[in-house]
Structure 1
């Protein structure tokens, strides 16, 4: 599992039948800034994840990938590699809250 920020969405009118009705979001993984360890910073990558919980643009979310992405009741029959399984409210590292940029 890891934290990512939702940066956009994907519309695909032609897709495999089992994917009909599933929202696809562009997500950008984040990591803990290594020097001060007080904020999350982008990894510079992006990919597509299926949204199962109603996330929106600029939300920080929890992502799971690989075979684990198909272990939820909503995704067990989908041909996916990444799924959003939670919306992040706060992050705590070393007994302090870490800044998450919600712009």
Structure 2
């Protein structure tokens, strides 16, 4: 799993049948320090509650669509939850 911040949404007039009824969001992956990491990705909102500005945790590949209980979904990433509190304790070297 990894974390990211929702920075936008995707509206499609046509999409794969396995994605019908699912919200697609643009998410910026983040480092442990909440800094941008790599390029934004498109993720399905499996919890159907995520929105602009939310800090979320996600899964990639097949695990990304497990919560929606469909046999097969065309997805690279899926939002699995909204993060309410996030804290990293730095280890001393």
TM range (shorter): 0.7 to 0.9
Aligned-pair distance for 1:44? Answer: 4.1
How far apart, in 2, do the equivalents of 1:55 and 1:42 lie? 19
Deviation of the 1:10 alpha carbon: 0.4
Contact 2:58 2:81 in 1 (8 A): yes
Structure with the largest fraction of helix: 2
Q: Distance in 1 between matches of 2:56 and 2:5?
A: 6
For the 8 Å contact 2:32–2:88, the answer to whether it is kept is: no
Tell me which stretches of 4 or more aligned residues in structure 1 moved more than 6 Å: none
Give CA-to-partner distance per residue, 1:20-40, whole Å, 9 cap, x none.
Answer: 11100000001123xxxxxx2
What corresponds to 1:59 in structure 2?
A: 54
Partner of 1:41: 35
The answer as to whether partners of 2:46 and 2:67 remain within 8 angstroms in 1 is no
Shift of 1:73: 3.8
Structure 2, unaligned runs of 5 or more: none
Q: How high is the TM-score relative to the length of structure 2? A: 0.85
Deviation at 1:75, TM superposition (A): 4.8
TM-score normalised over the length of structure 1: 0.77
Cα RMSD (Å) of the superposition? Answer: 1.7
Question: What is the CA-CA distance between 1:77 and the residue it aligns to?
Answer: 2.3
Which of the two has greater strand per residue? 1
